[in-house]
Structure 1
Amino acid sequence: MSVREVNFDGLVGPTHNYSGLAHGNVASMSHEGLVANPREAALQGLEKMKSLMDAGYAQGVLPPQQRPDLGALRDLGFAGSDAEVLARAADEAPQVLRAVCSASSMWTANAATVTPSVDAPDGRVHFTPANLQSSFHRYLEPATTGRVLASIFADEARFAHHPVLPATPAFSDEGAANHTRLAGDHGEPGVHLYVYGRQAFGGDGIAPRRYPARQTLEASQAVARQHGLGDAQTVFAQQHPEAIDAGVFHNDVIAVGNGPVLLYHEYAFRDEQGTLDALRERVASPLIPVRVPVEAVSLDDAVASYLFNSQLLTNADGTMTLVVPGECQEREAVWRCLQDHLLAGHNPIAEVVVKDVKQSMRNGGGPACLRLRVALSEAERAALSGRVLLDDALHGELTAWVKRHYRDRLAPADLADPALASETLAALDELTGILQLGSVYPFQR
């Protein structure tokens, strides 16, 4: 069985803007109010996808959400025509308007948690969309995310879709950004590392003081139960509270794993040794931990550069490629760590590839935020619905689509423009035709 990891990147949406909505995300907060370039953002994302496809990695595409979410505004009591709803929201609740225009679904690492068929008792690939209840602008995403995933992974004999967890603080779920699967290769049974920031029920009360812990242990345990995973297949580890207070809002900002390799910062886990011991006990192949000490890269440098929010990709010869954001070159300690500690170390990481994703980075999302990893067999890849696996033709069509529909300048004040809403709906309607997804958006239903 030929199992490959497919990276499904989120297309950046036409309303990409800098509203500073994510509390605890230092980059998002620090760039609030700047003028964004949605066209450049989408093209940067597509260029990253194309370069990885050209390098031989399996690459998929997920569409953005419908924004502005006028239905959400109407649910909140704003009435009238679309233009009237937008104008009233801009006047009475500008932060709410910014939230319903967020293009945050581009970070598909938060879209869902996925278990490949080789690990599931029923031999199907399992999906649970994240409830993202910790922030209003992301709480709006799961319904459409579920429809998109159900449209693409539609074969019920091969794919299983679970309901979103209850949208309450006790089951706060941020998706695959806090989940890593480790195995000798993608076709071997794996071990699932779930990282949480806090316990909703019980615990010792040790938690971050500055920023909220978004993922709960209870949410991670519930997703593992939904997917039928047993104790021998799972490790639950608490994120280090000091890392969260430094701006590490998800585990994928401080650790990344693939195959048998776990690249992590010294402050990734509250109980570093206990986490490694539990993984070694469960992973069939020898675990290869690659530890970056705080003396080499400070927490501030880790957050500013998004060194650990990089894509760790497995090559056919067993080596690995690390795809890092350009910001890693701008921090001397980080770049030195990449050259002297990672590339020169005794580990499979043999290549570092630098990608410009500045438009995403300014909102707090690096290369790893932009993708949802799904390990699929050849038969499962053949069973996908729609036209979502990237090739040269699809890349060309999507690039032309972006250039036709996206603005090259968008300030938060522009979000009230009713023309932007009309432009976005027209663009998304055309996109569902290109991707052959059917009617996944509310306005199409």
Structure 2
Amino acid sequence: MNSVRAFEANFDGLVGPTHHYGGHSFGNVASTGNANQAANPREAALQGLAKMKALADLGYRQGVLPPQERPALWMLRDLGYTGSDAEIIAAMSNTPSGFLSALSSASSMWTANAATVSPSADTQDGRVHFTVANLQNKFHRAIEHKQTARTLKSIFAHPQHFMVHDALPMLAAFGDEGAANHTRLCHDYAEQGVELFVYGRQHWGGQIAPQHYPARQTREASEAVIRRHGLAASHTVLAQQNPAVIDAGVFHNDVIAVGNQNVLFCHQDAFLASDQVYAELTAKMAGQLHIIEVSRDVVSVADAVKSYLFNSQLLAKPDGRQRLVVPEECRNTPAVWAYLQALQASNGPIDELCWSMT
């Protein structure tokens, strides 16, 4: 029998036809800053498809998650609206404009928030485990999880190989934002890795928390995912996100850190106790971890948020190095672009930049 070696697959979301800048995400500086700007759903969808095609052409396994039904008329019917689709939409004229806007959000395209995924090499039962994110902190996102679960259960349908868990309870104590606060590190995709879970606050506990913007991921939610997926304590790390950067607009860990295989690329201010986090990760990675820490003196947190530097994608190359797919905003932020040029020339583990995929 031919054995199939483990591999990483990328799944991107497809932008839906109701894509617009609603500014619903308090704590996401980019979201609120772009509120009410003109949007082009068709162009956005084509850009996304071009990026997926470019990665497929480079040899990466690429999938796509379809957009969800928007406006979410099923939600309006649950809330007591009756009549045809057109009649329900017409009835919305008597409600605040933000209500229909939220119910029309195409935010499910951000698949980092779809679920947390643990590969079979890490789990107790040898299956790939998914926990769908509840996204309970924001109304326009909290309505996604049922459709996300149906989609993932349709794609990963073989019970011998996959387990898709429904979202955690829709309670503040178990706020779960999915893979946006989760990083899997390893030496080889087929081998047991180390899973890093980053949380913003502890619901039951006296830890320091942000004061201005909400911490969306709780420690309790991360611990529940670890239990569900059957992960070993020897190969998991729980780390608290720096509350100061949450208050600076870093609403998810993937706005301040990204990792792949044995590379962790992060900002100096990403974690509350960076030295402890690095030490635990390095120990659990058997001393073989490349930590690329970006100094606040080189790239400020504000520039990291503005450019979405760490909301990039790290992709393994056949030669053992990594390519970094960065947003166009990185080229338009001088300090960030200067840093990336130096990073590419540094002969380190990241030696290639990709910024235009169309």
Alignment of 1:425-440 (within 5 A): none
Instruction: Indicate yes or no: 2:252 matched with 1:275.
Output: no
Matched ranges for 1:44-123 at <5 A: 44-123=47-126
* Residues 351-391 of structure 1 deviation map (CA, whole Å, 9 limit, x = unaligned): 0010369xxxxxxxxxxxxxxxxxxxxxxxxxxxxxxxxxx
Return 212-221 or 53-62, whichever deviates more.
53-62
Deviation of 1:16 (Å): 0.5
| 1:283-432 equivalences in 2 (<5 Å) | 283-284=285-286, 286-340=288-342, 342-355=343-356
Alignment check: 8 A CA contact 1:183 1:285 kept: no
* d(CA) in 1 for partners of 2:91, 2:79: 12
Tell me the TM-score normalized by structure 2: 0.97
Rounded Cα–Cα distance in structure 2 between residues aligned with 1:49 and 1:106? 13
Displacement of 1:275 in angstroms is 0.4
The corresponding residue for 1:4 is 7
Matches within 5 A, 1:191-206: 191-204=194-207, 206=208
Residues in 2 aligned to 1:327 and 1:93: alpha-carbon distance in whole angstroms: 32
Q: Give deviations 1:308-350, integer Å, cap 9, x for gaps.
A: 110000001101100001111111100111011x213352101
Native 8 Å contact 1:325 1:356 kept in 2 = no
Is residue 213 from structure 1 mapped to residue 215 from structure 2 by the alignment? yes
SS in 2 for 1:34: coil
Match of residue 22 from structure 2: 19
User: How many residue pairs align between the two structures?
Assistant: 355
Is 1:185 the equivalent of 2:180?
Answer: no
**CA separation of 1:346/1:218 partners in 2, compared to 1, >3 Å: closer, same or farther?**
farther
Distance 1:102 1:356 in 2: 25
Q: Deviations over 1:255-279 (max 9, x none)?
A: 0000000000011101100100110
Q: Quote the RMSD (CA, aligned, Å).
A: 1.2
Structure having greater relative contact order (Cα 8 Å, sep ≥ 6): 1
Q: Cα deviation per residue 1:119-164 (whole Å; 9 max; x = unaligned)?
A: 1111110011000000011111010100100001000011112121
How far residue 107 of structure 1 moved from its aligned partner, in angstroms, is: 0.3
TM-score of the superposed pair, with normalisation by structure 1: 0.78
Cα distance in 2, alignment partners of residues 312 and 90 from structure 1: 44
Task: State the identity %.
Answer: 58
Would the aligned equivalents of 2:50 and 2:357 in 1 still touch at CA under 8 Å?
no
SS in 2 for 1:338: helix
CA–CA distance in 1 between the matches of 2:336 and 2:104? 34
3-state SS of paired residue (1:355) = coil
Deviation at 1:90, TM superposition (A): 3.1
**Is the Cα contact below 8 Å between 1:262 and 1:288 reproduced in 2?**
yes
CA contact (8 A) 1:260 1:285 kept: no
Contact 2:54–2:357 at 8 Å: present in 1 too?
no
* AA at the equivalent of 2:317: N
Q: Residue 314 and residue 356 in structure 1: after superposition, are their counterparts in 2 closer, same or farther (change >3 A)?
A: closer
How far does residue 220 in structure 1 lie from its aligned partner after superposition?
Answer: 0.4
- Read off the aligned partner of 1:350 and give its amino acid letter: D
- Work out whether residues 288 and 347 of structure 1, in 8 Å CA contact, stay in contact via their aligned partners in 2: no
